[in-house]
Amino acid sequence: MTGRARIQSGAGHDEQESAQRMHSITTGVEFVRRLDHAKRSQISIVRQEFGGWLDAVIGPDPMRAAVLSATGEAVVNASEHAYLDRAGPIEIHATMQRGYRRLMVLVRDHGRWRIPTAAGSRGAGGHGLALIDELSADSVVHTSATGTTTSMLWNLAPRVAEIHP
C-alpha cells in the first residue's frame, strides 16, 4: 500500500487552485468537520464521527482501519505541531468518489509547523508522516505561511454488489 509522500512548500504552489482541482474531480459523499480549538477530547469525538461516516460510506472495506489511522495521525500531527501550547483550528474534509471508489481526505491547520519541546509532549516523534505514507495510496503535505494541509488518497476495492449486479 505504500504511498508516495511528498512535502511541498508554499512557494510557487496555489493552494486554492489545488483545492478547486480536487473538488472538481469529486462527485460523491462528503464529511466536513472543523474544530475551532482542537483538543485531545475533541479529536477523539471527531475520530468516532469520522469512523461512523466511513461505516456508512465504505462499509466493511479492508482499508477502513488504514483510513481511520492515517486521518487520526494527521489530525494529531496538526494539533501537536501547528499550535504547540495552545489549541487552534483544524479542518477535516473527506470526499468519497463512489463511481471510482476513491477516497480523498484533507486535514488542514492554520498554524506554523514546530517541534514540540514542552514537558509532557510526545516530542518530535518523526513517525507520523511515515505512517500516513504507508497507510495511504498517495499522500502530500503542503506547508505555507497560512498553515499545513495533509492530503491522503485511497483507492478502495469495489464492493461485491458492484462487481456482480
pTM, rounded to two decimals: 0.76
Q: Decide: 34 and 94 in contact? Cβ < 8 Å.
A: no
Strands 102-109 and 147-155, how do they pair?
A: antiparallel
pLDDT at 61: 86
Instruction: Give, for all 165 residues of the chain, the pLDDT tens digit.
Output: 545 555 555 544 444 444 444 443 444 689 999 998 887 788 889 999 999 999 998 888 889 999 999 999 999 989 888 887 778 899 999 999 878 789 999 999 998 876 655 544 544 567 889 999 999 999 999 989 899 999 999 998 776 555 445
How many other CB atoms are found less than 10 A from the CB of residue 76? 19
- What whole-number distance in Å separates Cα of residue 108 and Cα of residue 148? 6
CA 137 to chain CA mean position, Å:
13
How many other CB atoms are found less than 10 A from the CB of residue 94? 22
